[in-house]
C-alpha cells in the first residue's frame, strides 16, 4: 500500500515539479522526485536524476549517476547501470501482446523479458527499447532508434530497427 501511494505521488507530483535544469528551483524538483522514487524502489543509486514526468516501478534498478529522462515511459524489469544518460521521451517495453493461436486473437501479455542498459550507455531522444534487449557498456543509441536486438559494448547504433553503425573503439 505504501509503495502504491509513493508511486502515485511520484507520477502526479513528479510531473508538476520543475525539470532539474531550471536554476534554483530545479534542484528542489529533482530532490523530491528522487526521494519519492526511493520509496517506490529500493534499487535507486546515488547521484541519480529522475526527470519531470518520469517514474519508477518497485523492481526498477537505477545505478549510481544515471538518469531517467523527461517523460520517459519505463517498464517492469528495467535495469539501468551506472552513469547512463537518457534523452527525453524514451520508451521501454518488457512485454508484448500474446497471440492465442487456438482462438486466433490477442489475449493478455507475454511474460516480462527484462531490459538491461549496461554502464555508460547514452540513449538519444525518443529511443524505443523492446523486450529482452541488452544495450552493451559504453554504447550510444541515436535519437528515434527502435532497438529490437542486443547492442554490443562500445557501439554506435541507429535506425528503425536499430543497427550497429560502428564500433566506438575503432579508429
Task: Report the catalytic residues.
Answer: 97
Contact 102, 118 (CB under 8 A): no
Q: Please, which residues have CB within 8 angstroms of residue 69's CB and are 6 or more apart in sequence?
A: 51, 54, 86, 87, 88, 89, 90, 123, 125
Tracing cell 529500493 back to the chain, one arrives at 42
Position of cell 545505478?
63
Q: Cell 507530483 belongs to which residue?
A: 13
Q: CA-to-CA distance for 148 and 60, rounded, in angstroms?
A: 20
Amino acid at each position: 500500500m505504501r509503495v502504491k501511494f509513493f508511486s502515485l505521488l511520484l507520477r502526479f507530483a513528479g510531473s508538476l515539479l520543475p525539470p532539474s535544469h531550471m536554476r534554483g528551483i530545479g534542484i528542489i524538483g529533482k530532490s523530491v522526485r528522487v526521494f519519492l522514487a526511493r520509496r517506490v524502489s529500493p534499487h535507486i543509486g546515488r547521484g541519480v536524476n529522475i526527470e519531470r514526468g518520469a517514474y519508477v516501478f518497485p523492481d526498477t534498478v537505477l545505478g549510481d549517476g544515471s538518469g531517467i529522462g523527461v517523460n520517459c515511459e519505463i517498464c517492469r524489469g528495467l535495469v539501468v547501470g551506472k552513469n547512463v544518460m537518457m534523452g527525453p521521451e524514451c520508451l521501454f517495453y518488457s512485454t508484448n501482446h500474446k497471440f492465442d493461436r487456438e482462438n486466433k486473437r490477442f489475449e493478455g501479455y507475454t511474460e516480462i523479458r527484462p531490459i538491461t542498459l549496461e554502464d555508460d550507455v547514452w540513449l538519444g531522444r525518443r529511443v524505443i527499447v523492446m523486450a529482452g534487449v541488452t544495450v552493451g557498456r559504453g554504447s550510444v543509441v541515436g535519437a528515434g532508434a527502435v532497438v529490437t536486438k542486443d547492442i554490443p559494448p562500445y557501439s554506435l547504433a541507429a535506425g528503425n530497427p536499430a543497427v550497429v553503425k560502428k564500433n566506438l573503439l575503432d579508429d
